[in-house]
Amino acid sequence: MFNTIHEECGVFGVYSPTVSDVARTTYYGLYALQHRGQESAGIVVNDDGVFSVKKALGLVSDAFSQNDLDSLGQGSIAVGHVRYATTGSDSAENIQPIVVNHNKGKMALSHNG
């Protein structure tokens, strides 16, 4: 189908049956996927329905300090995203994961183009 590799964005998710430091695990996952996107990074942590969000422009190591990871707190689920833009501007409004409210509660979503 394609004659070349098409790597766009990177998505990393964590589930833990017990509350743990899923933010830090997601950080390291995104760091390993950094080659997939270097424009922005974001992490959402779910602790029993309470969402903590940190998103920023730049490389993973620039977007998250140790204090940022600590402030995301503990949880049982996390999703992270590094962006390589194929459309849209390189701006804060385009940083993922996207958090939405719906009739069943909140949901965090990341996609790869």
CB 84, CB 78: distance < 8 Å: no
Q: CA 83 from chain center: how many Å?
A: 9
Catalytic residue among 2, 6, 9, 22: 9
Please state which architecture CATH assigns to domain 10-109. 4-Layer Sandwich (3.60)
- Return the closest-CA partner of residue 30 out of 60, 54, 7: 60
**Cβ-Cβ contacts under 8 Å for 86 (sequence gap 6 or more):** 8, 113
Global pTM value: 0.90
Residue-wise pLDDT tens digits, 68-103: 999 999 999 999 999 987 677 778 888 999 999 999
CB 43, CB 98: distance < 8 Å: no
Annotated catalytic, 9? Answer: yes
User: What residue has token string 């017990």?
Assistant: 18
